[in-house]
Amino acid sequence: MVISALRLLGVVPIAAICAYRMITLALNTRSWAVLLPPEGRPRFPTLMRMRWIGESVNTLLPVAPVGGDFARAALVTSRGVPRADAAASMMADLATGVLTHMMFGLGGAAALFHILPKGRGHGVWTEVVAGLLVATLVVVGVSMSFHLGA
């Protein structure tokens, strides 16, 4: 399968996709590292490997999409970071990811609104915005329940 993909696409596009993924993985790892306390924080290559393992758990195993985040917290705890700090960094990283996805969704909705023909197709845009609104309300509700201690 890999060889047929290489023949079909060529090496350069696949290498570009891999490089792009490594860049996003490195940036996500760096943001997670900032959330961890400096004392006892594993080095960047170790954190990147942990991030990769966590994302692999989310992608490859039949667990909830946050199963890999719990795996990352457990991995960083096994390296000496206090459990509370590991859990807090995981939750902050997860919340940041959700907010980032919401911002990209809003940007996509704005772009969709501008490329749709005037007077036609705005029903799709309305559905997209309604979905983003529902997702926003869910995120706000979960966040409030965390802050209220529920």
- Give the single-character DSSP code of 121: S
pLDDT in tens, 81-120: 999 999 889 888 888 888 888 888 888 888 887 887 776 6
Mean pLDDT, residues 38-65: 89
* 125 contact partners, CB below 8 Å, separation of at least 6: 109, 112, 113, 116
The per-residue pLDDT of the chain, averaged, comes to: 85
* 113 contact partners, CB below 8 Å, separation of at least 6: 122, 125
- pLDDT of residue 41 exceeding 70, the answer is yes
Instruction: Give the separation between CA 46 and CA 36, rounded to whole angstroms.
Output: 13
Mean pLDDT, residues 69-76: 91
Q: Is 120 helix (H, G, I), strand (E, B) or coil?
A: coil
* 99 contact partners, CB below 8 Å, separation of at least 6: 139
